[in-house]
Amino acid sequence: NKEYKKTLSTLRSEKEILTNQLAELVSENEKLKDKISTSKSPNNYLVENDKLKDQLKQLEDELKEKSKKYDQLISDIRVKNSEFQKKSYELEQILAQI
């Protein structure tokens, strides 16, 4: 259970970091979009924008992967907790018979 909680905490931290990075890239992407209207070389903008889109996609994919791991960990913790409660109940029943 401690390992699951530690992993869960780590995944939460990583997810928060990735979410923040994603927000920063989205913000930066928006700034570049605003800049295009005043830019004299749109080709440079397009290249930079494509790079940022690729980075954004990569971060989104990474965030999805971390979210899957997070969701799986939550599910595993619930299963283990249920098993623990069942064993605890069984032990109480055995002790009650003694």
pTM for the complete prediction?
0.45
Tens digit of pLDDT for each residue in 57-97?
Answer: 999 999 999 999 999 999 999 999 999 999 999 999 988 88
Tens digit of pLDDT for each residue in 4-45?
Answer: 889 889 999 999 999 999 999 999 988 888 877 665 565 777
Give the largest Cα separation in the chain, rounded.
Answer: 87
Q: How far is Cα 12 from Cα 51, in angstroms, rounded to an integer?
A: 27
What domain count does the chain have? Answer: 1
Cβ neighbours for 54, distance < 8 A, ≥ 6 positions apart: none
- The domain of 81 spans 2-97
